[in-house]
């Protein structure tokens, strides 16, 4: 079945304006009568909850952390893009749009991306008014840097903590509305199910993580702002608590999951050090502005980096991509690192790392300049690895970082289930098959501050929403199922821990659905996922009870959902028989080892409908139409 993205008509630059005019408005006096549920308090969730409450809606905001300020947007380092063209260097809304479409390897919806570029300028204004301390020039104007393969300087940043400062701005706005009584805040609450009544999303079932109490919440619309699924891989740069449960539970209730095979593997992370490791740490991409990536030219070169003369080093990014060099997009840089290591030229104890070397930059600009630019990152690197990057090159390796796929949404950010909206990383919409650096913060805030306030109003104003309460059979049933699932997890009483299963699943996905995939590997992995899942339900051990603070139980529920989700991810990767962006099918590459797209057969969004655990999901395609940009092979040479 073909899916309709409900993209408005008219020229690209006028679509959003026209659409905003066409959307119905909610009478201001009626807004407070509408309760809206916002799950997640990252950039998308906090900005949406605050803005909707400012407009007068009654908002309930949920998060699994102890405070909304902890959501993982807080960890974003590099910056946020905006087409302000403050640097007068040729940027424009159209250029940001074009770069984002191209960077996504032509697998995103044109109209959404254009709107994102348009709203980007408003985000910066809003955040500065909130007091976000962006970097400034001596004259007092805002400073920009070039980032993530862009050839203009459009990235606004706050040291290496841009995500933190943007989130604290949105969190402040949210807490202001909580204080004013417009938002009811539910920290340490986890959404365990979506409640659908007569085909409309009308509420959620949650578990109070402190007491274990199961609760139902009714609303006129539900907004999922619950982030990505990167932790399916166990090791990632995500926070420990990041999970797919809210999205997956909505998927099981009918929401389509789009492009789950698109995962961004970030090229500059600290390599895995041992089997006990709980997470991977990102080293900001901005380091590639001054660091040079290299491996020894010869296989199995056991010398220390200092002992290897320049002539015996291979600066492979500079060699392969002379015009972009070390600044090629993330997917390209990651793949090149993997290839170098596969060739036996990796470095460090595990041989799964490449050097990121600042020696030339230090020689050129002085250690003080480098310290000023990257001091906090260098310090973090030294704390983790016990090595001093001012003296010896950093060792880096790609790691799972961001997921471009997510629940399918139309132009209004509404899923195929009426009343269920999905914002930020949790939706699939704007980054295609590869996200550019400094674009995630932009999308989260664009969705929350500037898109949803309009499109949600259009839905609420134009949809009859009969009054219901939590005694409705759909709520009673959903609550019973959620409780039953927790009881089932506790009842297994096996001998392997949740983390043990999670590690095995993660490693399997990393090996077969990571930086490179092929049909036979994916097929095997699919079978293996089913086996691991079966064993999980027969042999997992979860201690404690449901009626208390029980972290083992929380993790068990999330990992159980990752096990179901992983199969859909693999199915999508298998069915997308082309290479594009972060999805690299080894069967489809150019002679030089670059990704080869198949626009004739795969210029579509693959949206999967749940058909039961272990059942093949049903594919729905949304054809991507490119009326403004010509599809070309991405070239960074």
Determine the Cα–Cα distance for residues 19 and 86; give it in Å rounded to an integer: 28
Q: Which is nearer to another protein, 305 or 325 (CB)?
A: 305
Q: Which is nearer to another protein, 185 or 570 (CB)?
A: 185
x/- contact string, 103-122, with another protein (CB under 8 A)? -------------------x
208 part of the interface to another protein, by CB under 8 A: no
Scored b (16 or more CB within 10 A) or e, 579-599 reads: bbbbbbbeebeeeeebbbbeb
279 part of the interface to another protein, by CB under 8 A: yes
245 part of the interface to another protein, by CB under 8 A: no
131 part of the interface to another protein, by CB under 8 A: yes
Closest CA to 582 of 339, 359, 353, 259: 259
Is residue 194 within 8 Å of residue 179, measured between CB atoms?
A: no
Near another protein by CB under 8 A: residue from 24, 136, 299, 480: 136
Give the C-alpha distances (Å, rounded to integers) separating 428 from 304, 419, 530, 606, 624. 43, 17, 25, 10, 13
Q: Which is nearer to another protein, 66 or 531 (CB)?
A: 66
Near another protein by CB under 8 A: residue from 12, 197, 272, 273: 273
Stretch that binds another protein, among 16-24, 342-350, 587-595, 614-622 (CB under 8 A): 342-350
Closest CA to 149 of 369, 328, 340, 405: 328
Q: How far is the CB of 506 from another protein (least distance, A)?
A: 14
134 part of the interface to another protein, by CB under 8 A: yes
- Other C-beta atoms lying within 10 Å of the C-beta of residue 301: 17
Q: Which is nearer to another protein, 101 or 540 (CB)?
A: 540
Task: State which of positions 210-229 bind another protein (CB under 8 A).
Answer: 210
Determine the Cα–Cα distance for residues 233 and 517; give it in Å rounded to an integer: 15
Determine the Cα–Cα distance for residues 39 and 95; give it in Å rounded to an integer: 33
552 part of the interface to another protein, by CB under 8 A: yes
Determine the Cα–Cα distance for residues 219 and 371; give it in Å rounded to an integer: 51
139 part of the interface to another protein, by CB under 8 A: yes
x/- contact string, 494-533, with another protein (CB under 8 A)? -x-x-xx---------------------------------
Determine the Cα–Cα distance for residues 248 and 240; give it in Å rounded to an integer: 18
Task: State which of positions 429-468 bind another protein (CB under 8 A).
Answer: 449-450, 453
Q: Which is nearer to another protein, 59 or 255 (CB)?
A: 59
Q: Which is nearer to another protein, 218 or 377 (CB)?
A: 377
Near another protein by CB under 8 A: residue from 89, 125, 534, 625: 125
Determine the Cα–Cα distance for residues 63 and 184; give it in Å rounded to an integer: 12
> What element of type H or E holds 257?
strand 257-258
Q: Which is nearer to another protein, 240 or 319 (CB)?
A: 240
Helix (H, G, I), strand (E, B) or coil at 87: coil
Near another protein by CB under 8 A: residue from 96, 239, 513, 570: 239
Is 70 labeled as catalytic in the residue annotation?
no
Task: State which of positions 557-616 bind another protein (CB under 8 A).
Answer: none
Determine the Cα–Cα distance for residues 92 and 497; give it in Å rounded to an integer: 52
Q: How far is the CB of 497 from another protein (least distance, A)?
A: 5
Q: Which is nearer to another protein, 379 or 633 (CB)?
A: 379
Task: State which of positions 284-303 bind another protein (CB under 8 A).
Answer: 302-303
Determine the Cα–Cα distance for residues 107 and 557; give it in Å rounded to an integer: 32
Q: How far is the CB of 55 from another protein (least distance, A)?
A: 9
Q: How many residues are listed for the chain in this entry? A: 637
Point out which residues pair with 422 in neighbouring strands: 224
Q: Which is nearer to another protein, 383 or 591 (CB)?
A: 383
Task: State which of positions 57-76 bind another protein (CB under 8 A).
Answer: 65-72, 74-75
Task: State which of positions 145-174 bind another protein (CB under 8 A).
Answer: 158-159, 161, 164-165, 168-169, 171-173
Task: Spell out the SS3 assignment of 263-284.
Answer: EEEEEEECCCCCCCCCCCCECC
Do the strands 263-269 and 394-403 form a parallel or antiparallel pair, or are they unpaired? Answer: antiparallel
Q: How far is the CB of 337 from another protein (least distance, A)?
A: 17
Near another protein by CB under 8 A: residue from 3, 37, 38, 50: 50
Q: How far is the CB of 60 from another protein (least distance, A)?
A: 16
Closest CA to 152 of 102, 91, 97: 91
199 part of the interface to another protein, by CB under 8 A: no
Closest CA to 258 of 599, 571, 552, 594: 571
x/- contact string, 466-495, with another protein (CB under 8 A)? -----------------------------x
Closest CA to 43 of 453, 443, 457, 435: 443
Binding residue count for another protein, defined by CB under 8 A: 93
Point out which residues pair with 402 in neighbouring strands: 264
Catalytic, out of 330, 435, 528, 597:
330
Task: State which of positions 373-412 bind another protein (CB under 8 A).
Answer: 380, 383-388, 391-392, 395
178 part of the interface to another protein, by CB under 8 A: yes
Q: Which is nearer to another protein, 122 or 289 (CB)?
A: 122
124 part of the interface to another protein, by CB under 8 A: yes
Scored b (16 or more CB within 10 A) or e, 22-55 reads: ebeebeeeebeebbbbbbbbbbbbbbbbbbbbbb
Q: How far is the CB of 304 from another protein (least distance, A)?
A: 4
Q: How far is the CB of 105 from another protein (least distance, A)?
A: 29
Give the C-alpha distances (Å, rounded to integers) separating 318 from 19, 516, 595. 45, 22, 18
Torsion sign (Cα): 281, 282, 288, 294: positive
Q: Which residues are catalytic?
A: 330
């Amino acid at each position: 079945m073909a899916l309709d993205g409900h993209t408005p008509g008219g020229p690209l630059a006028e679509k959003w304006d026209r659409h905003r005019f066409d959307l119905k408005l909610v009478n201001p006096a009626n807004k407070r009568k509408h309760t809206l549920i916002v799950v997640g308090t990252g950039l998308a969730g906090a900005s949406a909850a605050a803005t909707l409450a400012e407009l007068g809606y009654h908002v309930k905001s949920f998060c699994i952390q102890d405070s909304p300020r902890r959501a993982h947007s807080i960890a974003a380092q590099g910056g946020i893009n905006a087409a302000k063209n403050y640097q007068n260097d040729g940027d424009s809304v159209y250029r940001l749009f074009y770069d984002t479409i191209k960077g996504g390897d032509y697998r995103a919806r044109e109209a959404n991306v254009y709107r994102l570029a348009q709203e980007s300028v408003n985000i910066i204004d809003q955040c500065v008014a909130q007091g976000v301390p962006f970097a400034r020039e001596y004259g007092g104007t805002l400073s920009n840097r070039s980032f993530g393969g862009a050839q203009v300087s459009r990235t606004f940043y706050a040291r290496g903590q841009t995500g933190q400062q943007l989130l604290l701005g949105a969190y402040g706005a949210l807490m202001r509305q909580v204080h004013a009584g417009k938002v009811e805040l539910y920290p340490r609450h986890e959404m365990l199910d979506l409640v659908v009544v007569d085909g409309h999303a009308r509420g959620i079932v949650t578990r109070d993580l402190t007491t274990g109490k199961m609760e139902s919440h009714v609303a006129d619309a539900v907004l999922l702002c619950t982030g990505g699924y990167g932790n399916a891989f166990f090791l990632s740069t995500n926070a420990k608590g990041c999970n797919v449960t809210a999205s997956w539970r909505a998927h099981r209730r009918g929401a389509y999951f789009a492009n789950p095979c698109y995962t961004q593997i970030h090229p500059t992370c600290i390599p895995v050090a041992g089997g006990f490791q709980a997470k991977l740490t990102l080293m900001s991409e901005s380091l590639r502005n001054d660091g040079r990536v290299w491996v020894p030219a010869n296989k199995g070169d056991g010398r220390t980096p200092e002992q290897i003369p320049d002539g015996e080093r291979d600066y492979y990014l500079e060699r392969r991509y002379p015009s972009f060099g070390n600044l090629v997009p993330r997917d390209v840089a990651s793949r090149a690192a993997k290839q170098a290591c596969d060739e036996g030229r990796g470095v460090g104890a595990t041989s799964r790392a490449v050097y990121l070397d600042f020696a030339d930059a230090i020689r050129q600009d002085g250690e003080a300049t480098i310290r000023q630019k990257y001091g906090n990152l260098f310090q973090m690197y030294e704390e983790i690895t016990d090595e001093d990057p001012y003296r010896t090159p950093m060792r880096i390796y790609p790691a799972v970082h961001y997921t471009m796929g997510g629940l399918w949404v139309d132009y209004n950010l509404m899923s195929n289930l009426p009343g269920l909206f999905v914002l930020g990383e949790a939706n699939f919409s704007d980054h295609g098959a590869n996200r550019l650096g400094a674009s995630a913060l932009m999308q989260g805030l664009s969705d929350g501050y500037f898109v949803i306030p309009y499109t949600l109003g259009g839905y609420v104003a134009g949809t009859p929403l009969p009054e219901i309460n939590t005694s409705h059979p759909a709520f009673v049933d959903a609550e019973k199922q959620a409780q039953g699932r927790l009881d089932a997890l506790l009842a297994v009483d096996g001998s392997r821990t949740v983390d043990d299963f999670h590690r095995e699943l993660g490693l399997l996905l990393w090996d077969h659905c990571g930086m490179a995939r092929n049909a036979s590997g994916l097929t095997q992995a699919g079978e293996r996922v089913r086996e691991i899942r079966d064993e999980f339900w027969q042999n997992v051990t979860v201690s404690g009870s449901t009626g208390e603070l029980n972290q083992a139980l929380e993790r068990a529920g999330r990992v159980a959902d990752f096990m179901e989700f992983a199969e859909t991810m693999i199915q999508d990767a298998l069915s997308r028989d082309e290479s594009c962006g972060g999805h690299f099918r080894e069967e489809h590459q150019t002679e030089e080892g670059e990704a080869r797209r198949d626009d004739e057969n795969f210029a579509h969004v693959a949206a999967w409908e749940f058909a039961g655990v272990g059942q093949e999901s049903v594919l729905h395609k949304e054809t991507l139409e490119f009326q403004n940009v010509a599809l070309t092979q991405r070239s960074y040479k």
